[in-house]
Structure 1
């Protein structure tokens, strides 16, 4: 029987962050469990997670780091320069890899820089089906399936952006969660609003260094009895400075590129962190959170979740001072009922997880081509 192979085109960098690769690794694990071989195609960008992909046991094809910095003259997609090369160069390099393995079944794309012009030409050159992971709904796609795990005020946000025949998996039922979160949810303890343990995590790269801003607040002696977990990604440029500082504080615990985030979230009474995909992990486990937006694409999601009462949003990183963090943290410490309500509303926000139905539909799509 011919093996089923899926390539995933995705990048991580200091600029892009690590969330796209991390969620694709979760999908890769789910596909592997049903007998699909997964290969990654990633560019060698500063701050990438290519080593992590290899460490997880997946085949990786590395696209070369551009020698000169590419600046796009087109502005339809503000994220287009994240490819760091002209889109046609990126496309042709990807096509050459796909054509080198004739058993390839389809391509999954999780990249803000790629849109329908890239996808359409890819399909014409390879004939392979395309599946898109997106959460912006800001550009057109040529694909057979699309997955957007975010909630939105615009239920028809992809109408006119994808072919009418495209199968859409939209909303919180399709949040991409690692198995560790499912396991943690089973034994999740009910929170009583008391804040004795705080989890700080601002994503894998934390480009605005919100972690250290938050540390400056939490080092206050008034928080010395609180257990504080500081989590950073391997792509965090300031990780060594953060590590050194944590080592000087007896109630601070430093973690880098961990595999037990669900456990730490389950143990925490409060989180301080950014928006992005981690938002849904926290909500799934009912973890109350003080949030700081660190990227424009987080704003709509955080506003929606804040309006649901599932988080306490502090604002955009450039406007959030250590004093603001301290003020809101003290308010929550003094108001356990507020913390309890946040936890319950976060839990209520999340529907039954149905990501496996997406996996099954992709497998069926692959089988239809045999």
Structure 2
């Protein structure tokens, strides 16, 4: 990207996917509230500065419920959840599931998550090489969320295919295959819900089914939406937190050695991994709910607004030496889990899984290294998550 070329021209290229941060730095400097065309062909606004990002994420003039703009057009089970709703529906939907994700309940899962991590690493003991995503970073959180929901962990590979397809569609990869995967996912959930109705347990889906049958609290469309969100979001953030975090450590060996020798630094290390190369690159879509002015920009009702979370978390006005990866950094008010009423309710679970996964890996295999140059790793396309497809490691 030349100095005279607009940084907007470099967005969403392969080079951008490999390292978006130089582009973000120029956008924050030259056009922090940028009007552009997104990969799916929509025109909208991208917010890249931290202060502006926080304001958008908590400003109720920017709405999440697309039906208020477009009617029911484009609505699906994947948008019938708290992530794509506004108050009072948001409060009702979130209230039904947040009881399963309180910090106290999550902390009570520590020992079990540790057992899962150890079992996964037991399975690769004695091997010279592993593929971090397939062997460890993916199965750990999908096992945990499957157990919370009560769906079979043996179906985790199906969830991965469906999740990758649905998230990939955010980058205009939509196709008949994506539609087929959505149909398969919906059919799977329908079959599972019928089983739970016959044989309820003490899992979260059983609780949601009971709430649905009690009436007025959850519609059938909403139960599909909430469960699909929990399956997808319940593992995607952690997969990429672990993957991106390990890459950052391997690219900064002094930080890796510090954490390996001082595992008590893990909480701060996880926060820095979330800030430095966060697992969720962009917020999900918001729309201007009315004609409005934001930071001197006139926005029309229905305008799409997206926050570049990973850009905000490298803003030098908020973070000292923002491009420095430092696991001893003091308290970090990063936006990796969002901000405001839509802040990720699974954040305590993702943090705990990340802490256990990273420390256990470094304890069991203290000499891990990448088997190829980090610049050759293939980053997943899409407008939401930031993560690599594969991380080949030597043990």
Q: TM-score scaled by structure 2?
A: 0.22
Greater RCO structure (CA 8 Å; 6+ sep): 2
Q: TM-score scaled by structure 1?
A: 0.23
